[in-house]
Structure 1
Amino acid sequence: MELALIGLAGVLLGLHLLSCAVVGWRLRRPLPPRVDAAPFVTLLRPVCGLDPLDAETLGSSFALDYPAFEVIFCVADADDPVVPLVEGLIAAHPGVAARLLIGEARVSANPKLNNLEKGWQAARGAWVVMADSNLLLRRDYLWQLLAARGPEVGLVSSPPVGVRPEGAWAELECAFLNSNQARLQLLADSLGFGFAQGKTLMWERAFLAARGGLAPLGQRLAEDVASTRLVRGAGKRVALTQRPFAQPIGRRTLRQVWARQLRWAKVRREGFPLLFPGEVLNGSLVALVAALAGGGAGVAAGVAVVWYGAEMALALACGWVRPGRALVMLPLRDLMLPALWVASYGNTTFEWRGNAMAPGALRKMAG
C-alpha cells in the first residue's frame, strides 16, 4: 500500500512538472509572425458599472497596432455610470472608429450576451472579437488573435493572467488565475483540445451567424462553455493565442475570491460533467496526502518543495508573480480547491452582476 501511495504521488508530481515544462516552453517561444492580410475586425466590449481600472482597460482599445478595426462599446442602461467614461474615451480618440450602443435584446438569459447582441448586429467586421471590459489589451492583441486562426479552428480565445494585485487576497486570486487555470488551459491547447475562455472570444462572423449568432451561446451557464461545445459540435476546435493577456486585479476580499472561484467551478461542472470529477486531482493536496501516507513527512516535504518550486519557477519566468507573498498563496489555493469542488455540487445556480443564473432558465430562454 505504501508503494502504491508513493507511486500515486510520483505520477501526480510528474504530470505537474510536465505541465509546467510544456507551458514554459510555449511561452518562451517567439510570437508567430503577423499575418500577411489584415482583415477588418470589429472589437466588441461589453460594459456595466464603473470599476477603478476601467479607464485603463477600456482605453487600451484605442491603442491597438492594427490598421483596420472598429470598436463598439455595449451598455444596457443609458444611466450606467460607465457611460460618461466611454463617451470621453471616444471623444479623446477621434482617429479610431468607435461608438457606444445602448440597450439590450433578450436573446438569452445571459445578460452579457443580451448586452452584446446590438453590437453583434451592428458589427461590420468579418471577424468579431468580444473582449471583457477588465481585460488590458496589448498593442498586438488583434494580430495575436488572427495568428491563431486555421482551417480547423472555429474560435480563437485566450485565458487571462492576473497582474498588479493589491493585497493578500488579490495575490490569492492570481494564484488561481495564473499558474493554475492559465497553465492548465494552455496545456490543454498545446495538446490539441483547447477550451474557450470568455475574456476573449474571436469569431469568424459567418461561422457563428450560420449557427444562430449569439443566442446559442446562452444555452449554458457561461458563454465560454457554450462556445466550446458549439465549436466542437461543428467539427472544429478552439485555439488559444500563444500567450495569454493581462487582467489588472486591483483589490480583492477573500469572500470575492471564493465567490468567483465557486461560480467558475459551477460553470465547469454544469458544462463538462464528465470532466469535472477529475478536478478533485487539481492542485497538490492529493499528491501530498499520498506522499505523507506512503512515505512520511520527509517524502511529503520533498514533493511539496519540487511541486511548488516548479510552479514558482514558471510563474516567475512568465512575470506572473512577485517573490514573497505569492509562495504562501499557492498552498492556500490548493487547500481551497477541494473545498470549492465539493461546494460546487450543492447546486448550479449563482448570481452574476445581480442576475440569477441557472442552466434550466438559460436553456428555456435560448430555446
Structure 2
Amino acid sequence: MFSFPKNPVFAPVLFIYLFIIFYKSCACSRLHLNKKTTEKVPYSKLAGVSLLKPLKGVDPNLINNLETFFELDYPKYEILLCVQDHDDPAIDVCKKLLGKYPNVDARLFIGGKKVGINPKINNLMPAYEGARYELVWICDSGIRVKPDTLTDMANQMTEKVGLVHGLPYVADRQGFAATLEQVYFGTSHPRSYISANVTGIKCVTGMSCLMRKDILDQAGGLIAFAQYIAEDYFMAKAIADRGWKFSMATQVAMQNSGSYSIAQFQSRMIRWAKLRINMLPATIIEPISECFVASLLIGWAAHHVFRWDIMVFFLCHCLAWFISDYIQLRGVQGGPPSFSKLDYAVAWFIRESMTIQIFLSALWDPTISWRAGRYRLRCGGTAEEILDV
C-alpha cells in the first residue's frame, strides 16, 4: 500500500520552488513578451541573415506560413528552402512562392545530404553549406511570422549574445485540439521555459533560433550534431560552452500547423518526454512539479503540520494553480485568449490529467517515431535508426 513519506520538509521546499517559477514566468511574460523592441542597431546596419527552412510534406497552412517569410521587413536576408525527397509536394509550394516573389533572395535545395541519423540536419546540410550571411536562422515549417519578427530577433543579437530564440506558442485556430495545444504552450511549457532562462539556465527549443554561423562552424558545423535527435539542445550547449549568452525574442515562435489533433499532441508530448529523460536523467522527478501531484504532496504536508484537511487544501491549491496559469496564458498571448473561460477550464483539466500517462508512456518505450523514421534513444542524447528488415 502507498504511504506518504514521514518527513514533510520536502513539500514546503517544493511549494517555495513552484511559487518562484510561477512568479518569474508570469512577470517575464508581462514585462518582456509582446513588447515593441528597442532599436539597438540601426535598421540599415542589421546583420545579414540566412534563413534555413526544413520542409517535409504539405499541410493546409503551409503556403500561408511560408509566405510570411517572403514578406519580412528586413534589409538583408536570404531564404533557403530545404526539401529532402524529390517527390515531396512541398516542392510545388516552394516553386509557387519563388515565382510570386522574384525580388526576394530565395533558393530551393532538394535532396539533402546524409551526414547522420537526424533527418532535419540531413535536409538542411546543403543549404547550410551554401549560406552567405553571418547569422543563421533555423525555423520550422509550421511557424508563421510578422513582418518585424526577424528585426526583433536581430536586435536581441547584441555583442555577447550567440543565440536568440523564440518562446514556442500556438496561433489561434479552430477546434478543441487547438485549444488544448494553446493552453499547454501558454501555461505549463512557458512556466518552465521562461523561469529557466530568467534563472540563467539555457533552455531552448529549435523551432525558431537565430545563431552566429561562425560559432557553429567552430563547433564543427551542423554535421557535428547529426548524431542527435534533439539537435537544438546540443547546438545551444555548444554555443553556451564557448562563453556566449542567449537572449529570448520579445515575439513568440508562433506555431500554425494546419494538421493537429489530440492524438498528435499526445504523441508529441511523449516524444519530448522521452528526449528529456534520455538527455537529462533528473527529468525522472518531473511529475512532482505537475499540478495534481504537487498539490497532493503539499496538501499532505499542510495536514501533517497544521492539521488542515488534505482534500480541501488540494482543491484550493489546484484552484490557485488554475488561476495562475490563466494569468500566464494571457501574458504569453498578449491579451485574452480567443476561446472562452469554460474551454480553458476543460482543456486545462484534460492537459493536467494527461501528464502522468504521458510520462509513464515515455518510460515504457525508449524508441521514438519522428518524420519518416523510427529511432532508438541512447543515454546521453545519441540515437540509432531502426531500419525495417
Q: Report the TM-score when normalising by structure 1.
A: 0.90
Q: 1:251, CA displacement in angstroms?
A: 5.3
User: Partner residue of 1:20?
Assistant: 26
Query: Unpaired segments of 5 or more residues in structure 1?
Result: none
1:155–1:201 CA contact under 8 A, matched in 2? yes
Q: 1:268, CA displacement in angstroms?
A: 1.4
2:22–2:191 CA contact under 8 A, matched in 1? no
2:50–2:133 CA contact under 8 A, matched in 1? yes
2:21–2:192 CA contact under 8 A, matched in 1? no
User: Partner residue of 1:307?
Assistant: 321
Q: 1:147, CA displacement in angstroms?
A: 2.0
Query: Unpaired segments of 5 or more residues in structure 2?
Result: 1-5
- Residues 1:316 and 2:294 are matched in the alignment: no
Q: Which one of 337, 340, 350 corresponds to residue 368 of structure 2?
A: 350
1:72–1:100 CA contact under 8 A, matched in 2? yes
- Residues 1:287 and 2:301 are matched in the alignment: no
2:34–2:251 CA contact under 8 A, matched in 1? no
- Greater shift, 245-254 or 330-339, is seen at 245-254
SS of the aligned residue for 1:104 comes to coil
Q: Which one of 50, 61, 76 corresponds to residue 58 of structure 2?
A: 50
Q: 1:28, CA displacement in angstroms?
A: 6.2
1:167–1:252 CA contact under 8 A, matched in 2? no
Q: 1:291, CA displacement in angstroms?
A: 4.6
Aligned pairs, number:
364
- Residues 1:329 and 2:335 are matched in the alignment: no
Name the CA distance, whole Å, in 2 between partners of 1:183 and 1:25.
15
Distance 1:6 1:110, change over 3 A: closer
Q: AA paired with 1:283?
A: E
Q: 1:315, CA displacement in angstroms?
A: 1.2
Q: AA paired with 2:48?
A: F
Distance 1:363 1:7, change over 3 A: closer
- Residues 1:97 and 2:105 are matched in the alignment: yes
Name the CA distance, whole Å, in 1 between partners of 2:351 and 2:71.
35
SS of the aligned residue for 1:27 comes to coil
SS of the aligned residue for 1:358 comes to strand
Name the CA distance, whole Å, in 2 between partners of 1:263 and 1:121.
29
Deviations 1:137-167 (CA, angstroms, capped at 9, x unpaired): 1211211221222344332222320122322
- Residues 1:35 and 2:65 are matched in the alignment: no
Q: Report the TM-score when normalising by structure 2.
A: 0.86
1:206-285 alignment, distance < 5 Å: 206-250=214-258, 252-274=260-282, 276-285=283-292
Name the CA distance, whole Å, in 1 between partners of 2:364 and 2:36.
44
Name the CA distance, whole Å, in 1 between partners of 2:225 and 2:53.
17
- Greater shift, 242-251 or 165-174, is seen at 242-251
Name the CA distance, whole Å, in 1 between partners of 2:212 and 2:295.
45
Deviations 1:170-229 (CA, angstroms, capped at 9, x unpaired): 222222222221332122222222322110122211111122110122232211122122
Q: AA paired with 2:372?
A: G
2:186–2:328 CA contact under 8 A, matched in 1? no
Identity %, equivalent residues: 25
SS of the aligned residue for 1:145 comes to helix
1:282–1:337 CA contact under 8 A, matched in 2? no
User: Partner residue of 1:165?
Assistant: 173
Distance 1:117 1:311, change over 3 A: same
State the Cα RMSD in Å: 2.5
Q: AA paired with 2:344?
A: A
Q: AA paired with 1:323?
A: S
Name the CA distance, whole Å, in 1 between partners of 2:88 and 2:367.
26
1:62–1:96 CA contact under 8 A, matched in 2? yes
Q: 1:362, CA displacement in angstroms?
A: 4.7
Q: 1:364, CA displacement in angstroms?
A: 7.1
Q: Which one of 189, 201, 208 corresponds to residue 209 of structure 2?
A: 201
SS of the aligned residue for 1:171 comes to helix
SS of the aligned residue for 1:356 comes to strand
Deviations 1:63-82 (CA, angstroms, capped at 9, x unpaired): 11101111110101221111
Deviations 1:69-101 (CA, angstroms, capped at 9, x unpaired): 111101012211111111001110112111111
Deviations 1:283-342 (CA, angstroms, capped at 9, x unpaired): 211232135443333222221222111211221244373333122211221222222223
- Greater shift, 142-151 or 48-57, is seen at 142-151
- Greater shift, 336-345 or 41-50, is seen at 336-345
1:16–1:307 CA contact under 8 A, matched in 2? no
- Greater shift, 342-351 or 116-125, is seen at 342-351
- Greater shift, 160-169 or 261-270, is seen at 160-169
Q: 1:10, CA displacement in angstroms?
A: 4.1
